[in-house]
Structure 1
Amino acid sequence: MKTQKRKAMFVILGLFTAIIITLLISLNMGTMRISPVDVFQTLIGNGTDQNQLILFDFRLPRIVIAILIGAAMAISGAILQGVTHNELADPGILGINSGAGFAVVLFLYLTQNSPVSAVFVLPLTALAGAVLAAFLIYSISWKNGVTPIRLILVGIGINAAFSALIIVFQLRMDPDNFTQATIWLSGNIASTNWSYTLALLPWILILVPFTLYKASTLDALNLGDETAQGLGAAVEKERMILLLAAVALAGASVAVGGAIAFLGLVTPHLARKLVGVGHRYSLPTTALLGALLLIVADTIGRNILSPSEIPVGLVVSLIGGSYFVYLLMKS
Structure 2
Amino acid sequence: MIQPALIKKQRIIICVLLALISITIVIGMGMGYSSLSYDRLIPTLLGQGTFKEEFILFSVRLPRIFITLLAGMALALSGAILQGITRNDLADPGILGINSGAGAAIAVFFLFFPIKAGSLVYLLPLVAFFGALITACAIYILSYNRKTGLQPVRLVLIGVGFSMALSGVMIVLISSAERSKVDFIAKWLAGNIWGSDWPFILAILPWLLILIPFTLYKANRLNILELSEPVAIGVGLAIEKERISLLITAVALAASAVSVTGGIAFIGLMAPHMAKALIGPRNQLFIPVAILIGGWLLLFADTIGRNLVDPGGIPAGIMVSLIGAPYFVYLLLKK
> TM-score, normalised on structure 2?
0.95
Cα offset, 1:163, TM superposition = 1.4
Cα offset, 1:19, TM superposition = 0.4
2:317 and 2:116 mapped to 1: Cα distance? 28
Aligned partners of 2:279 and 2:285 also within 8 Å: yes
2:41 and 2:239 mapped to 1: Cα distance? 50
Residue of structure 1 in register with 2:61 after alignment? 59
Residue of structure 2 in register with 1:250 after alignment? 254
Residue of structure 2 in register with 1:154 after alignment? 158
2:227 corresponds to which of 223, 245, 265? 223
Residue of structure 2 in register with 1:49 after alignment? 51
1:212 corresponds to which of 216, 232, 236? 216
Residue of structure 2 in register with 1:308 after alignment? 312
1:120 and 1:293 mapped to 2: Cα distance? 25
* Structure 2 counterpart of 1:151, one-letter code: L
1:21 and 1:270 mapped to 2: Cα distance? 20
* Structure 2 counterpart of 1:63, one-letter code: I
Cα offset, 1:243, TM superposition = 0.4
Deviations 1:148-204 (A, max 9, x none): 111111112222221121111111211121111101121111452011111111111
1:129 corresponds to which of 121, 128, 131? 131
Cα offset, 1:329, TM superposition = 5.2
Q: Equivalent residues in 2 for 1:77-226 (5 A)?
A: 77-112=79-114, 117-144=119-146, 145-226=149-230
Q: Equivalent residues in 2 for 1:283-322 (5 A)?
A: 283-322=287-326
Aligned partners of 1:42 and 1:48 also within 8 Å: yes
Change over 3 Å in CA distance of 1:114–1:34 after alignment to 2: closer
Change over 3 Å in CA distance of 1:173–1:266 after alignment to 2: same
Cα offset, 1:7, TM superposition = 1.2
1:65 and 1:157 mapped to 2: Cα distance? 29
Decide which moves more: 138-147 or 94-103.
Answer: 138-147
Change over 3 Å in CA distance of 1:324–1:141 after alignment to 2: closer
1:281 equivalent to 2:304? Answer: no
* Structure 2 counterpart of 1:309, one-letter code: G
2:311 and 2:131 mapped to 1: Cα distance? 35
1:38 and 1:295 mapped to 2: Cα distance? 22
Residue of structure 1 in register with 2:11 after alignment? 9
Cα offset, 1:225, TM superposition = 2.0
Aligned partners of 2:33 and 2:310 also within 8 Å: yes
Aligned partners of 2:67 and 2:195 also within 8 Å: no
Aligned partners of 1:112 and 1:177 also within 8 Å: no
| Count of residues in correspondence between the two structures | 331
Structure 2 unaligned runs (5+)? none
Over the matched positions of the two proteins, sequence identity in percent amounts to 47
Structure 1 unaligned runs (5+)? none
Cα offset, 1:326, TM superposition = 3.6
> TM-score, normalised on structure 1?
0.96
Aligned partners of 2:104 and 2:131 also within 8 Å: yes
1:325 and 1:146 mapped to 2: Cα distance? 23
Aligned partners of 1:91 and 1:97 also within 8 Å: yes
Secondary structure of the residue that 2:137 maps to in structure 1?
A: helix
2:93 and 2:187 mapped to 1: Cα distance? 19
1:55 and 1:205 mapped to 2: Cα distance? 25
Secondary structure of the residue that 1:53 maps to in structure 2?
A: helix
2:193 and 2:116 mapped to 1: Cα distance? 23
Deviations 1:52-84 (A, max 9, x none): 110000100000001110000000000000000
Aligned partners of 2:194 and 2:260 also within 8 Å: no
Residue of structure 2 in register with 1:327 after alignment? 331
1:115 and 1:101 mapped to 2: Cα distance? 14
* Structure 1 counterpart of 2:124, one-letter code: L
Cα offset, 1:117, TM superposition = 3.0
